[in-house]
């Protein structure tokens, strides 16, 4: 039995998120169907984490076991022939027995894109939050690093998705290694790297940054917002389409 890790990119617009759900099209289910066709038996795929409906990935990772001896390079080609164009496998790697894409991950990087021009091109709209209205961008840029560190992010955690998820996220303390907002010619790009993230936490951080930009929250108020541990005090949850899972890191890489 072989243990393998794949690195996958996908356009999340046509999927009900990563995780398998009865009667819904998901990225995990789509990949499992492709592997099952190759293996001749049902193959379970473990992702490095879940992404919500509409969220995209540039470097999601997942692991699974196969008996099929097809070399990794050929397996990558076979999967990309079977999978829809919205899902692409960029790498297939042999891993030690027992490797698990989620449990072994040591860091993840997410990126959120806010398109700032008056007109949003149709080929940009599905992959960014179009916000052409006035924002104090300098204040937002100053506020972004204040989310870095080991902190309790309960104020920026959405309600749990069910009893199992609630148990898994009983602790709302997470470590953020870096948090930065930068201005590009046509957009704001928020990039955050951390050991792990709560449900919708990145989108809620972006919502808080937008509150700063609108003048409803000062950068100096970020520590108090986090200390309150009250989701009701934070801003909106930014739309899913602007969020990308950029990379997942492991100790051996």
Residues acting as catalytic residues: 52
Phi, psi of 62 (to 5 degrees): -155, 155
Q: Which positions ≥6 away from 251 have C-beta within 8 Å? A: 104, 106
Q: Are 209 and 140 in contact (CB under 8 A)?
A: yes
Write out the DSSP string of 117-172. SSS--TTTGGGSEE--S---HHHHHHHGGGG-EEEE-GGG-PPPSSHHHHHHTS--
- The length of the chain, given as a count of residues: 253
Please report how the helices 27-39 and 72-82 are oriented relative to each other, as an axis angle in degrees rounded to 10. Answer: 120
The span from the CA of 230 to the CA of 240, in Å, is 22
């Amino acid at each position: 039995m072989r243990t393998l890790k794949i690195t996958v990119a996908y356009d999340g617009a046509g999927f009900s998120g990563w995780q398998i759900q009865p009667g819904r099209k998901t990225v995990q289910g789509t990949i499992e169907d492709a592997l099952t066709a190759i293996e001749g038996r049902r193959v379970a795929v473990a992702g490095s984490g879940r992404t919500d409906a509409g969220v995209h990935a540039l470097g999601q990772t997942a692991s699974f076991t196969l008996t099929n001896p097809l070399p990794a390079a050929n397996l990558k080609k076979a999967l990309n022939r079977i999978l829809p164009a919205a899902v692409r496998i960029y790498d297939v790697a042999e891993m030690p027995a027992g490797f698990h894409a989620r449990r072994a991950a040591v860091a993840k990087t997410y990126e959120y894109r806010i398109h700032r021009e008056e007109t949003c091109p149709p080929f940009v709209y599905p992959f960014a939050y179009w916000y052409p209205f006035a924002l104090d961008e300098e204040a937002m840029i100053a506020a972004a690093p204040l989310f870095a560190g080991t902190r309790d992010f309960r104020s920026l955690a959405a309600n749990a998705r069910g009893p199992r998820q609630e148990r898994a996220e009983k602790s709302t303390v997470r470590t953020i290694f870096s948090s930065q907002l930068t201005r590009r010619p046509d957009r704001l790009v928020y990039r955050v790297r951390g050991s792990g993230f709560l449900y919708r936490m990145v989108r809620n951080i972006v919502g808080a940054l937008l509150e700063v930009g609108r003048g409803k929250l000062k950068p100096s108020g970020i520590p108090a917002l986090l200390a309150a541990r009250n989701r009701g005090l934070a801003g909106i949850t930014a739309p899913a389409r602007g969020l990308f899972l950029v990379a997942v890191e492991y100790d051996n890489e």
